Amino acid sequence: MDTRITFSLPPGALQIGLIEADGVRVLPSQSSYLQQIAEEIAPILQDDWVYPDCMQKGIRSLLKAYGFHPSGRNRPASEFLVKDLQARGSFNPINNVVDINNHLSLVSHLPISILDRAKTGDSLQIRVGMEGESYVFNREGHELSLRDLLIVACGEGSMAPFGSPVKDSQATKVFEETSRLVGVIYSSVTLSPPDALAALLRRFASFLSAEASAKRVEWKIIDPW
């Protein structure tokens, strides 16, 4: 695995699932894959579906441990995806890589960052956002304040932040020109035991190979402590 990751965090429950891929082709998702997604997320669109309380509280507690308040517009990305899905009434396809990311986040209820490795570099650091740090997270130029938020940043040089369990930076998102990527799944042993997280990472790798033509995919689970 080319990606090198360091942690600058106080001790806590965080567990990271890390995946990287080379040679991906970013295209619209195939109709067969979109049908599979629709079938798997169908229960979320039922009137009697209830967000798993343990997952919602667990992810929020994970972020609160570093001083962040994950609610409202700052809710975890996994919660935002559910709200967006329910509001639209159907899955919102972006491209094959982002669709894989969103699909697996919806079914696992874990926030996932998916980033262009050509833009992030292979040296990453996971730390807590500092006073005054922010980044633009959409085409409209809206900014996310990163103070006290768990973030993924460049591990050397600029130390610039570009990912988080809430929203990722517009500057390092996956677009048509992307061929190398890195994904970060934010979890804990309580939320997703190692065997369950490994199964999710294997599925992620399988989809990147089958749906995005990845030439090489590697993954690992990292316990910072």
The predicted model scores a pTM of 0.95
Mean pLDDT over each residue of the chain, to the nearest integer: 95
Q: What percent of the chain has pLDDT over 70?
A: 100
Q: What's the pLDDT tens digit per position in 28-63?
A: 999 999 999 999 999 999 999 999 999 999 999 999
Helix, strand or coil, per DSSP, at residue 45: helix
C-alpha span between 34 and 29 (Å, rounded) = 7
Question: What pLDDT was estimated at residue 216?
Answer: 97
Q: CATH class for domain 4-222?
A: alpha beta
Query: What is the pLDDT at residue 107?
Result: 97
pLDDT for residue 225 is more than 80: no
Which one-letter amino acid corresponds to residue 112?
A: I
pLDDT in tens, 189-200: 899 999 999 999
Mean pLDDT of 122-145: 95
Beta bridge partners of 218: 20
pLDDT band, residue 170 (cuts 50/70/90) = very high
List Cβ neighbours of 13 (8 Å cut-off, separation of 6 or more).
62, 65, 188, 189, 190
Indicate the pLDDT class of residue 125, thresholds 50, 70 and 90: very high
> Is the predicted pLDDT of residue 224 greater than 90, yes or no?
no
Residues whose CB is less than 8 angstroms from the CB of residue 193 and which lie 6 or more positions away in sequence, other chains included: none
